[in-house]
Amino acid sequence: MTAEKFTVYSFVGSQWAGVAHLALAQKGFSKDDYDIKEINLVSADNFDPEYLKINPNGTVPSLVSPSLQAPLTESTEILRYLDSLRQNGSLVPTDTETKRKAQAIMDLVHSAQVGTNLILFQARDNAEMEAKKASPWNEFLTNRQKRLEKEHAVDPAHPFYVPKAAENGAVHKLYDSDVGDEHKSFYALTDSMYRDFATGVNKLETLLELPYAASDHLTEADFHAIPWLAHAMWGAGTVPTDIQDFSVLEALVQKSVPEFKIGPRLRAWWSNVSETPAFKQVFAELH
């Protein structure tokens, strides 16, 4: 038992909250050890000024504990904190070489190059754009924009809302206007982002050790790479229970990079991690 109950701020569909959930499962925490507070990203509750006091980035996950002086607001530090609470097989490598390999994988899956927002929000042509406009992502972006504008009106001096509204608004305005010429540069950008994404996935193929991401045992690198790939597959439209089906993600990327394939090392790694109890507990369905 940990002495003091902690709180994890999470959202059911969030990929990076998945890191915290995998760590909670792997390290054997029980529901008595912590509370989960859902921050509904669909209603943009992550932009509530009260939540921004906990996490000034307005993201999940966050972790708050009476034992900590300040909230933890990055999935990397949350996993490491949870790992430190239980001496039952550390997920954080100590030898230099494994540490380096794990860090390289974590840096890659967290990088913009393979960011999954590309898959969720972007489009390469009119057909993809119309499909996105008819999808729940339209409502998601609209809710965010309305909430950002509302909170800005309540507290115009708050530094969070203006840049965030500009960032969200840049994509939202394409959902909010007729599909036409102004979308063309967005399509070209999206196509080049898919080519970068393919390069990033190919790089991951070369970084993976087997049987697990950075070693012969599970490390933090596995628990960051799993939610990233699960979210990419889900976002591409894979049936959530078809855990081993890469074909939908491959087809999406192949539109920009015809030769793209999920490589044999990534497939072998995924097959290995998907057999672990933590994976089965958290990713019975892709999300």
Residues that bind ligand GSH (CB under 6 A): 14-16, 41, 46, 58-61, 74-75
**Cβ-based nearer residue to ligand GSH, 257 or 278:** 278
- CA 101 to centroid of chain Cα atoms: 20
- Least distance to ligand GSH from the beta carbon of 60, Å? 4
Q: CB-hemisphere CA count at 13 Å for 141?
A: 22
**Cβ-based nearer residue to ligand GSH, 39 or 85:** 39
- Least distance to ligand GSH from the beta carbon of 74, Å? 5
How many angstroms separate the Cα of 144 from the Cα of each of 43, 125, 138?
7, 24, 10
How many angstroms separate the Cα of 120 from the Cα of each of 91, 105, 135, 266, 267?
30, 22, 10, 22, 22
**Cβ-based nearer residue to ligand GSH, 12 or 188:** 12
- Least distance to ligand GSH from the beta carbon of 151, Å? 13
Handedness of CA 129, 168, 63, 42 (dihedral sign): negative
- Least distance to ligand GSH from the beta carbon of 46, Å? 5
For residue 68, the cross-strand partners are: none
d(CA 92, CA 104): 13
**Cβ-based nearer residue to ligand GSH, 21 or 27:** 21
- Least distance to ligand GSH from the beta carbon of 282, Å? 14
**Cβ-based nearer residue to ligand GSH, 9 or 187:** 9
257 φ, ψ (degrees, to nearest 5): -130, 90
